[in-house]
Structures are given as C-alpha cells and as structure tokens.
Amino acid sequence: MPCWPELWDGFKRALPTFELVGSVIAYVALVTLVLWAPRVRKRWQLVTDRVLGAVGVVPLAVVLPALLFGALLASGNPPPKSRIVRSPDGQEAKLTYYGGFLGRDYTEVTVQRTGCCRHLAVFSHAGPSWFDDPNVEWLDDQHLRISYHARPTDPQHCEGQIGDVRIVCLSHPWPDGPSTFQTAPNEPTKP
C-alpha cells in the first residue's frame, strides 16, 4: 500500500526538475521552429526568422553545456546508504547518508511511528561525515539518542520531540572543542 503523504513529498521534490526539463524542451522547440520557419513566403520575414533563430541559439550554446556539466557532477555522487534501528515496540529510526561531491555530505535521521506510513525527519547534518559516524539508538520506546561528529559551523538540526518520542542529539567535536548536548533548536545547549 503506498504512503500518499510520502508520494506527494517526492512529487514536490521532483517538480523543479520537471519544470527545468520542460522549459529547455520548449525553448529548443521554439528556436527550431523559428530557424526552420515553415510556410514563410516573404523574404524579409524569412531573414528575420533566421536572425532571431540564430540569436536564440546563443543562450542554448551556453546553457546546455552548463546543464550537462552539472548533471555529470551530480551523477558522480555515490548512492545513498541507509540503516534502520527499531525500538522495542516496532518504531523505526532510519539513518540515511548521502556522500556528496567535495565533502558536501548530508546525513538525515527519520522516524516512522508504529502504524504510520510517513517518515518524519528528526535530525539532519550537512557537513563532512561518513556512514558509520552517526550512532542512532533507542534507549526505550520514547527516547531516541543520536550522537555524531560535527564542526560548530556545520548546518545541523535536531527536533526535540516528535509525538511522545523524545530525541536527544549529542554532537562531538572533530579535532578539539567542547561537545554539545542538543535537545531542541530553541533550548540552551548544555556542556
């Protein structure tokens, strides 16, 4: 049985890509039509169409190689890795690690409640990492602990609570520095 909220979220994430591809296809079709100019009989209209078509090819000569180069860079990323940790009552905490280009790694932890199909994001970290670094463990049915390494400047987010599940995030420094204990974004950090 499909999880409709997750299918809708996936569609919303893919929509900008579809819009970009559709726009490029429409632009190429328009430039081709202007350059080809079927059914134009008057010479001045034919010359005008050819000039406008040639001017329209210039942005394509710049944009298409840039899009192809960006797609090649994006395709070089390794596939995401994930592992699932289950609580005693069957709730799932799924850690997903996206190894990025030039250290642009992204780690996310989602929780799926028992009897619910939707995964709720409870933790995210953007910065240098590896798949085995974040330690995700259920202390009991209502407490999830996530410990990881991060620099103070790395973008990170930890939800304090999802329903009756309390999330505790413990950040360890990379080289030297104090560790932080984070329970919610607006609560003060404790040493």
Q: Indicate the burial class of 144 (C-beta count within 10 angstroms; 0-12, 13-18, 19 or more).
A: buried
Cβ atoms of 106 and 155 closer than 8 Å: no
Please give the Cα distance from 188 to 181 (Å, whole number). 9
Q: Which residues pair with 144 in a beta bridge?
A: 138, 167
- The domain segmentation of the chain, as residue ranges, is 4-75, 81-182
Tell me which of 178 and 8 has the higher pLDDT: 8
Bridge partners for 19 per DSSP: none
Q: Which residue's entry shows tokens 């919610």?
A: 184
pLDDT reported for residue 189: 47
Q: What is the pLDDT of residue 26?
A: 93
Arithmetic mean of pLDDT, 9-25: 90
Task: Give me the pLDDT at residue 121, please.
Answer: 92
What are the backbone angles phi and psi of residue 11, rounded to the nearest 5°?
-65, -45
* Average confidence score pLDDT of the chain: 85
Q: How far is CA 172 from CA 15, 122, 149, in A?
A: 37, 18, 5
Average pLDDT over residues 142-158: 92
